[in-house]
Chains A and B, each alone.
Chain A
Amino acid sequence: DAKTTQPPSMDCAEGRAANLPCNHSTISGNEYVYWYRQIHSQGPQYIIHGLKNNETNEMASLIITEDRKSSTLILPHATLRDTAVYYCIVRVPLKTSYDKVIFGPGTSLSVIP
């Protein structure tokens, strides 16, 4: 199964871009990269996902390297409400016809005033 590696913690100044890296060197060709976040004591929240191309939505941008072995989640103008744990997830290869997803420890992002 493809695994991900993220830094355990990061700081970002309010109003600046937050760039959160993720390594997934064993990713398979048909696996997607997903990002979720979890604000303290709340359920995780979906942010964005991608396969090969860079993606952007109203919350963030996702940059995936050409070899797909790493990616970066970009929050363009971080606010205090973006303080959360961010999870990078790669879809686990199917063992049966059913899907699974595995959450790692994630990156704890602190946005500083």
Chain B
Amino acid sequence: NAGVTQTPKFRILKIGQSMTLQCAQDMNHNYMYWYRQDPGMGLKLIYYSVGAGITDKGEVPNGYNVSRSTTEDFPLRLELAAPSQTSVYFCASSPRGVSYEQYFGPGTRLTVT
């Protein structure tokens, strides 16, 4: 199993541009999550999903959108990128929700200038 994969690893965006961060897992996990981590800070939950077709907001959802059309994929969409969205983005999955361990991807480092 590849586990949780994320693409791209690095990206530079101009203010106002849009992009999609890709996340995929091959462990057949129902639960998936998107976090962001600002320099020197802890992780903050952006969005999560408990299965295909079901998503919900986390702590910091503004400026982002998600979709979950399949169990494997959970893309994160950034619309009208702003400098405040400069961060490292981590995707994670879990077999049965947060009562069980989460498996994290390697992250996407995004810079908005």
Contact = CB atoms under 8 A, between A and B. Distances in A.
Interface of A: 32, 34, 36, 41-46, 49, 87, 91-92, 96, 98-106
B28 to A, nearest CB: 18
Contact of B48 (A46, A98, A105): A98
A91 B98 contact: yes
Interface residues of B, number: 26
Contact of A96 (B33, B41, B56): B56
B13 interface: no
- By DSSP majority rule, is chain A's interface helix, strand, loop, or mixed? loop
Nearest to A51: B99
Contact of A101 (B50, B98, B103): B98
Contact of B98 (A45, A99, A104, A105): A99
Nearest to B41: A105
Interface stretch (B14-22, B62-70, B71-79, B104-112): B104-112
10 contacts: A42-B106, A42-B107, A43-B90, A43-B92, A44-B43, A98-B50, A99-B98, A100-B45, A103-B42, A105-B41
